[in-house]
Amino acid sequence: MKIFKFGGASVKDAEGVKNVLHVLNTVGHEDVLLVISAMGKTTNALEVVIKNYFDKSKELHASLQEVRKYHNQILLDLFEDEDHDVFFDVNAHFDDLEYFIRSNKSPNYSFVYDQVVSIGELVSTTIVSHYFNYSGLKNNWIDVRPLIKTDNNYRDAQVDWETTQKLISKGVKKKTLNITQGFLGSDENNFTTTLGREGSDYTAAIFAYCLGAESVTIWKDVPGVLNADPRYFENAVLLNQISYREAIELAFYGASVIHPKTLQPLQKKEIPLFVKSFINPTLAGTSVSKGADLEPHTPCFIVKKNQLLLSLSSIDFDFIMENHISEIFALFAKFKVKVNLIQNTAISFSVCIEDKYNNFEELRKVLAKKFKVSYNENVSLYTIRHFDENAAKVVETNKTILLRQISRETMQVITKE
Predicted pLDDT of residue 293: 64
Residue 215: beta bridge partners? 2
Specify the pairing of strand 273-277 against strand 32-36: unpaired
Distance CA 383, CA 250 (A): 9
List, as residue ranges, the binding site: 121, 231
Walking along the chain (417 residues) 10 residues at a time, the average pLDDT comes out as 97 98 96 97 97 96 98 97 96 98 96 98 98 97 98 96 97 95 97 90 97 97 90 90 89 79 92 96 93 75 95 81 88 93 88 93 94 95 94 93 93 93
Query: Where exactly are the structural domains of the chain?
Result: 2-213, 300-416
Residue 305 φ then ψ, to 5°: -90, 170
300-416 topology per CATH = VC0802-like (3.30.2130)
From the list 213, 230, 222, the residue with the least C-alpha distance to 258 is 222
Q: What is the pLDDT of residue 357?
A: 86
- Please, what CATH class does the domain formed by 2-213 belong to? alpha beta
Strand-pair partners of 144: none
User: What global pTM score does this model have?
Assistant: 0.87
pLDDT, residue 34, reads 98
Q: How many angstroms separate the Cα of 70 from the Cα of each of 123, 212, 244, 276?
A: 11, 37, 38, 27
Decide: helix, strand or coil at residue 9. Answer: helix
Binding residues for ATP: 231
Which amino acid is located at 233 in the chain? F
Binding site listing for substrate: 121
Whole-number pLDDT of residue 318: 75
What local confidence, expressed as pLDDT, does residue 294 receive? 62
